[in-house]
Structure 1
Amino acid sequence: MRRILYILLAVTGLTACEKKLDLSPTQSISQENALLTEGDVKVTLIGAYGGLQAEALYGGDIQVMNELIGNSENIRFTGTFAGLADIHALEITTQNSFARDTWQGAYNTINRVNNVLSALDKVTTSADERNRIEGEALFIRGSLYFELVKLFAKTWGDGDNATNPGVPLILTRTEGVTPESYAPRSSVAQVYEQIKADLTRAESLLPASNGIYAASGAAAAMLSRVALMQGDYTAARDAANRVIESGEYELTGSFGDLWFTMIDNAGANPSEYVFSMTVTQQDGSNSMNTYFGASTGQAGTGGRGDCKILPAHIDKYEANDARGDYFQALGANFFTKKHLDLKGNVLVVRLAEMYLTRAEANLRLGTSVGATPLADVNIIRDRSNLPGLGTVALADILKERNLELAFEGQGLSDAKRTRSAWSGTAWNSKFLILPIPQREMDVNDKLVQNEAYL
């Protein structure tokens, strides 16, 4: 089973400056190949993880796009991929290959999940096994809808959530693509409700420990992100607290211990990783490494070196901050060391984020669930060799979050939810939203395009 996970079911080739179009996407499952046994269901779930692991999704492109969109303050992009260059310069078109592939990859993977969910009655070995399979499938679906609505729709609270178009909600398996298969965009509010329903049930069904697959802590961590995006600080605090108090995860002793999972740790995750995509010497890829990484001369490092980190970002760290020292100088350029490992696992969420979420939510609410905001912030500062703060304000927590999670795909979401400018661009700028891919608009007349691309 583990071996099958590493097989990427959506392989994408590269040209000099653009991706090749996948002409044969997996869109449906035929009646002849229907899920007839428990084994069929399990293999299809592994296929869903394979889709999730693909470059266009949690293989790294989702995180890369979230970092690059208009981020001229922290990153200088020098790559030759026109799609990413346009995303960085906010000159995105409806033909953008990265937006297209993420949209297509997400819906193909969601369809695999829907196939699994349609055949849960075939899982008969035990109730626990059925619960695990359902929970993992719902985690994947809920997480992907969350990523889609963040990338392709207005931010929660930017206007009327009940009328702002989100993304199409497809909740049943597609047996064949017909005109009736195409759905309109559900509202932002409807998409968020579905995300929360999927992740809440996933958390209730998943085991506390589940190897390299999604566990209950991963669902809780994603619920914490969702609630934080909505400004529901009670739910964000409580979900983050469940992850911390579960005892399943532990902060690493030093900031540097978080990275180089293949080079230094033989491919194993640090204790702090709540969910990640596994990469091996044989299978998988890490597009965070592809674009943020570079060869330093150390065995196992590599990457295109497209994303140079600007001195203006490095200057934000205090003296002696271990995070501020975690950059590699190559000639006149700087690169984050987080993504130098050519075969490093692709991080999705880790425990330090939960401490910072709990701190922020407790501060906003005037509560101390789990710990005081000051204690949580100082845990993170201590790990980075910084002195503890005597008092803490919201600005302190947001600064720690910005520096701790830099170049992990969370910066744009934090700017939008805190109503902060993003590299000089207003948080609610129409240009910080990706277009609905043109190929989708061409075949589905029920879709409406985002404002910047009309």
Structure 2
Amino acid sequence: MNSSIKQWLFVGVFGLFVTACDNRLNVEPTQSIEQSQALNTEQDVQITLTGAYDGLSDVNLYGGGIQYIGDLTGDNRDVVFAGTYATIDEIWRKTVTTSNTVTRDFWLDGYNAINRTNSVLSALTKVSEANRGSIEGQALFIRGALYFELVKAFSKSWNDGTPTANPGVPLVLTPTTSVTDADYRARNTVAEVYTQVLNDLTKAESLLPATQSGGNGFATKGAAAAILARVYLQQQNFAAARDAANRVITSGTYSLVSDFADVFKDATNASEIIFKIIVTDQDGANDLNTFYASSLNQGRGDVRVQTKFRQLYATGDVRGTFFNTAGQNTFTSKFNDQYGDVPVVRLAEMYLVRAETNLRLNTAVGATPLADVNLIRNRAKATALTTVDLAAILLERRLELAFEGQQLADIKRTAGTVGTVAYNANNLVLPIPQREIDTNKNLVQNPGYN
């Protein structure tokens, strides 16, 4: 992390305390916070945790950026990006420059939110025993999820070369309270980052409750298990991915909504959404609406769905009609609500993870692969399959999870291609932002960007 990152981290965390506590308005300007001054009470820790959630919901993270970066990088003209943002156009064209501000802010805001979780984890002794487990679990969930997203985007995939040698991203596990030479971290290996992610999420699952009073906008046991299922699947640890997905499904906490369209309506989707980013007209932003929705639905109309993708849906599949037209262009209807919450992970994905991993392992934990796939297809009014193979399951993922951020991850873990571009091509890995390289000489740039 460079000095510019740290300044933002300090200002961001400092601002949380200044705005949240009336008795702290008279303070000296500073770039850093002494831990002993910043986190004296359980309320301070809770405020900082709230700040970590706020960071996680940033438009460059789960407020939309992580999702559209994954989908546009993995797109082979299933959509056309027709917007005026050159930075996002670079992502769609796979010509990202080291000065791209969208990818820069993904890195910056990710580490900002991670720093807040580190502050929470460093001050758990200030938290009552009754609340400590939940607060620790929530902080670990946020940190683990963000490191997973960072290592996927800025590093080679797990199945590309040697994870124990490939450079991942720097692991920072303690609060940054001052800038010294020790803060200029080198990149940990991909394997080291994945180990930390698994440690964080596994402990989070053990600590978190099944439900939170604030709803599924807050980390729960099921949310941690669902992200674990994604991590294990990316590592091709199929048994662990299967079992994590099965824990979510069999917990009894979640259920599929009966109407596919209702999945994307806040008033009706609570039972299916495992974790989401909460958006209201007072707080939060939905950048999936900004870029994917038409102007008729308060969006910019930048991401236009092409006929070649829509034709993948069979006649009768309601997902194949879940689009809307403005002028001559077609848009997904998943993000029509400007103030709609942003789904991060939902139950349908867990059924598809369980189906794929059971098939790969020739097992039937929880249900057969055919039963799980047909459960999803039946909800979509698609014709039930009589047999299922890996290709059918991967297609079902593409049809069900389109525009939700899983496109590139699926291509990479299955060693596929983006058109004619191989999964392990240099331009399918984001460059380390140039401002980080310039400041921190311990960072090594990704191949193809030197």
TM-score by length of 2: 0.92
- In structure 2, the residue matched to 1:361 is 357
Residue 67 of structure 2 corresponds to residue 71 of structure 1: no
Aligned-pair CA distance for 1:84:
0.3
- Alignment partners' CA distance in 2, 1:102 and 1:326: 29
> What's the CA shift string for 1:266-286, capped at 9, x where partnerless?
xx7431000000001111101
> What's the CA shift string for 1:166-201, capped at 9, x where partnerless?
000001111112222111000000000000000000
Structural mapping, 1:74-113, within 5 Å: 74-113=78-117
Structural mapping, 1:103-142, within 5 Å: 103-124=107-128, 126-127=129-130, 129-142=131-144
Aligned-pair CA distance for 1:424:
2.8
Q: Helix, strand or coil for the counterpart of 2:325?
A: strand
Q: 2:429 aligns with which of 430, 433, 438?
A: 433
> What's the CA shift string for 1:241-270, capped at 9, x where partnerless?
000001111101011011132xxx2xx743
- In structure 2, the residue matched to 1:279 is 279
- Alignment partners' CA distance in 2, 1:218 and 1:343: 22
- Alignment partners' CA distance in 1, 2:365 and 2:75: 34
Aligned-pair CA distance for 1:339:
1.1
- In structure 2, the residue matched to 1:184 is 186
Structural mapping, 1:145-224, within 5 Å: 145-210=147-212, 211=215, 212-224=217-229
- Alignment partners' CA distance in 1, 2:6 and 2:200: 30
Q: Helix, strand or coil for the counterpart of 2:321?
A: coil
Q: Helix, strand or coil for the counterpart of 1:193?
A: helix
What is the percent sequence identity of the aligned residues? 53
Aligned-pair CA distance for 1:23:
11
Structural mapping, 1:270-349, within 5 Å: 270-296=270-296, 301-349=297-345
1:48·1:109 contact (CA, 8 Å) conserved in 2? yes
> What's the CA shift string for 1:86-138, capped at 9, x where partnerless?
111111110000110010000011000000000000112x34x1000000000
Which amino acid in structure 2 is aligned with residue 106 of structure 1? Answer: G
- In structure 2, the residue matched to 1:378 is 374
2:55·2:112 contact (CA, 8 Å) conserved in 1? yes
Which amino acid in structure 1 is aligned with residue 409 of structure 2? Answer: S
> What's the CA shift string for 1:318-363, capped at 9, x where partnerless?
1111110101122211100001111111110000000000000000
Aligned-pair CA distance for 1:26:
2.3
- In structure 2, the residue matched to 1:421 is 417
- In structure 1, the residue matched to 2:230 is 225
2:74·2:411 contact (CA, 8 Å) conserved in 1? no
Equivalenced residues, count: 423
- In structure 2, the residue matched to 1:395 is 391
Q: 1:411 aligns with which of 396, 407, 413?
A: 407
Q: Helix, strand or coil for the counterpart of 1:308?
A: strand
1:293·1:335 contact (CA, 8 Å) conserved in 2? yes
Aligned-pair CA distance for 1:304:
0.6
1:161·1:188 contact (CA, 8 Å) conserved in 2? yes
Which amino acid in structure 2 is aligned with residue 276 of structure 1? Answer: K
Which amino acid in structure 2 is aligned with residue 69 of structure 1? Answer: T
- Alignment partners' CA distance in 1, 2:181 and 2:224: 34
- Alignment partners' CA distance in 1, 2:60 and 2:376: 31
- Alignment partners' CA distance in 1, 2:278 and 2:245: 23
> What's the CA shift string for 1:68-89, capped at 9, x where partnerless?
1151321100111111011111
Residue 239 of structure 2 corresponds to residue 247 of structure 1: no
1:74·1:309 contact (CA, 8 Å) conserved in 2? yes
Which amino acid in structure 2 is aligned with residue 213 of structure 1? Answer: F
Unaligned runs of 5+ in 1: 1-20
Unaligned runs of 5+ in 2: 14-31
- In structure 1, the residue matched to 2:263 is 258
Root mean square deviation of aligned Cα: 1.4
1:203·1:219 contact (CA, 8 Å) conserved in 2? yes
- Alignment partners' CA distance in 2, 1:141 and 1:70: 25
Aligned-pair CA distance for 1:423:
2.9
Structural mapping, 1:54-69, within 5 Å: 54-69=58-73
- Alignment partners' CA distance in 2, 1:358 and 1:437: 36
2:232·2:241 contact (CA, 8 Å) conserved in 1? yes
2:98·2:431 contact (CA, 8 Å) conserved in 1? yes
- Alignment partners' CA distance in 2, 1:435 and 1:86: 12
Q: Helix, strand or coil for the counterpart of 1:324?
A: helix
1:48·1:112 contact (CA, 8 Å) conserved in 2? yes
Which amino acid in structure 1 is aligned with residue 329 of structure 2? Answer: N
Aligned-pair CA distance for 1:67:
1.0
Q: 1:25 aligns with which of 8, 25, 31?
A: 8
- Alignment partners' CA distance in 2, 1:130 and 1:116: 10
Q: Does the C-alpha gap of structure 1 residues 340 and 47 become closer, same or farther in structure 2, counting only changes over 3 Å? A: same
- In structure 2, the residue matched to 1:352 is 348
TM-score by length of 1: 0.91
Q: Say which is worse superposed, 39-48 or 69-78, in terms of deviation.
A: 69-78
Which amino acid in structure 2 is aligned with residue 113 of structure 1? Answer: T
**Superposed structure 1 runs of 4+ greater than 3 Å apart:** 21-24
